[in-house]
Amino acid sequence: MTRTLIYMFHPDPARSRANAALARAAATLPGVEVIDMQAECMDPAKPYGDGAAEAARLLTADRIVLQFPLQWYSTPPLLKAWQDAVLTRMFYIRYEAEGRRLEGTPLMIAATAGNLPEAYRPGGANLFAMTELFAPLRATAHRCRLDWAEPFLLYRAGDLTPEQLEQAGARYAATLARWIASPLERVA
């Protein structure tokens, strides 16, 4: 069985309806662990968690998901701080011992957005396609030699009914299950 780690970077998980629904659905899958990074990073001395422990945890994963709400066309600050601490450590400070071992691991982005899909296109209210807004994440995946998967996107996240959120969670779980079942092609 593969081990999939879902890092959920929601700044206020107690108030989240959409990310919470996705996380609940994903947690029902075998071999999937959902990690609430806001809860993990409550120590002010380590606002991104323990870099060594995070690196060790990442190295146990067969697949990685970064789940977050899109905020002002970017990731939440905690995700950026985690990248700076953990990925910098793994790929610049301890590359041979850690970064090289993570290379080839599949990475998926699961993001929620408050607007309609039509808003995320050239000429739309948000001007850019979601794929363009994810360019820094895709560049990071490329630099770290992580296998970029098609992102899972949930639009109108704050406006969905409980039934729609349940359906979105089911779609997310189904997407994850297909992705997890697909063959791993690790970089040599």
- Asked if residue 49 lies in contact with residue 85, where contact means CB atoms within 8 angstroms, the answer is yes
Please, which residues bridge with residue 137 across strands?
Answer: none
Mean pLDDT of 93-117: 96
| Residue, of 123 and 102, whose pLDDT is higher | 102
SS3 33: strand
Close Cβ partners of 115 (under 8 Å, ≥ 6 residues apart):
125, 126, 155, 156
Give me the pLDDT at residue 2, please: 85
Q: What is the pLDDT of residue 185?
A: 63
Using alpha carbons, select from 170, 156, 149, 39 the residue that is nearest to residue 105: 149
3-state DSSP of 127-139: CCCHHHHCHHHHH
Q: What pLDDT was estimated at residue 43?
A: 64
For the chain, give the percent of residues with pLDDT over 90. Answer: 75
Report the pLDDT averaged over residues 71-86. 91
Quote the pLDDT of residue 45. 63
The secondary structure element, H or E, covering residue 112 is strand 106-112
Residue linked to tokens 């820094």: 136
- Fold of the 4-181 domain: Rossmann fold (3.40.50)
Is 50 exceeded by the pLDDT of residue 137? yes
Q: What is the pLDDT of residue 164?
A: 96
The helix/strand count (H/E) of the chain reads as 9, 6
What local confidence, expressed as pLDDT, does residue 100 receive? 97
Average pLDDT over residues 50-75: 92
Contacts of 131 (CB under 8 A, 6+ apart): 151
- Check pLDDT > 50 for residue 174: yes
3-state class (DSSP) for residue 71:
strand
The dihedrals phi and psi of 163, each to the nearest 5 degrees, come to -65, -40
Task: Kindly state the average pLDDT of the residues 47-74.
Answer: 89
pLDDT, one tens digit per residue, over 13-56 is: 788 899 999 999 999 999 999 999 988 776 666 656 678 888 99
Closest residue by Cα to residue 67 from 108, 8, 134? 8
CA-closest candidate to residue 61, choices 32, 25, 26:
32
Average pLDDT of the chain is 91
- Cβ(27)–Cβ(67) under 8 Å? no
pLDDT, average across residues 150-169: 95
Is the pLDDT assigned to residue 70 strictly greater than 90? Answer: yes
